[in-house]
Amino acid sequence: MEKITSVHNQRVKDWKKLQTRKQRTKTGTYLLDGWHLINEALNSQTAILSLIGTQEQFELHPDILTHELETYEVTKEIMADITDSVTPQGIAAVVAKPTDESEIPADLAGAWLLLDQIQDPGNIGTMIRTADAAGFVGVVAGHKTADIYAPKVVRSMQGSQFHLQLRQGNLFSWLEKFKQNGMPIYGTELNQDAQNFRELTPINNFALIMGNEGHGMQSDLLAQTTKNLYIPMDGQAESLNVAVSAGILMFQLKQNNH
């Protein structure tokens, strides 16, 4: 185990840079902050490239040191510097992003959530976590969607990235593949000409697209869908939060026979 006490150490500088999309893209890695996420990574057999913690945390959880990991003991000041967290837990890890994140699977099947220019990290993380809970196979972040490995998104996902296929790419290319595989594509729009989501029969293989918080889905994408859905509202609110809408639709469209 290597001990580091200075925030000016090069390793510390490199870890801190993982708060930026540029560094995450360059290195193909991102940072996990906290015991829950690290345990999720270990349980999913995800390779931990570097384990970073304070002396206090290593003493409280000596079992983590039984794993053969590249381990660094750091100060609380360093932990606060690298984690972008108001209350750092004193443990973090560098892990690799999936190497296939830009590939469209040849055997595309199951339920998929597509994110069209979603900007809020909390919304993205919540939708990915909800897709995991609803039994979806994967989530695709389209161009101009915020980075799904940004610190706030990673905290919001709560480890669901280890249970799903997370991809990033051109949504139009994905739509072509869904069509080739005979899978319906459901868009979403606040429009009475769209179809009431309750009128759909739940199925197992489909794609659901959620659009930007303020502007909704791109019109070019809406034109490519099988059907566009809306959620009827009895109250006075103008619209629903996109993550709430996604949750309602995901659980309605993919109902397991329990």
The domain that contains 15 carries what CATH number? 3.30.1330.30
3-state secondary structure of 252: helix
> What pLDDT is attached to residue 33?
95
Q: Where does 154-198 show beta strands of DSSP type E?
A: 165-169, 185-188, 195-196
Q: What is the pLDDT of residue 258?
A: 43
Per-residue model confidence (pLDDT) at position 214: 87
Distance separating alpha carbons of residues 67 and 71, to the nearest angstrom: 10
Instruction: List the chain residues with pLDDT less than 50.
Output: 257-258
What pLDDT does residue 234 have? 82
As beta bridge partners, residue 53 has 73, 91
Judge if 34 and 88 occupy the same domain: yes
Residues 150 and 188 in one domain: yes
Q: Which range marks the domain in which residue 151 is found?
A: 111-253
Q: Indicate whether 144 and 91 sit together in one domain.
A: no
Query: How many domains, the chain?
Result: 2
Same domain assignment for residues 35 and 120 = no
Question: Which helix H or strand E contains 229, and what residues bound it?
Answer: strand 227-230
Sheet holding 195-196, edge to edge: 165-169, 138-142, 111-115, 206-210, 185-188, 227-230, 195-196
- Is residue 61 in some structural domain? yes
Looking up residue 130, the CATH number of its domain turns out to be: 3.40.1280.10
Q: Are 121 and 212 within one domain?
A: yes
Q: Is residue 166 part of a domain?
A: yes
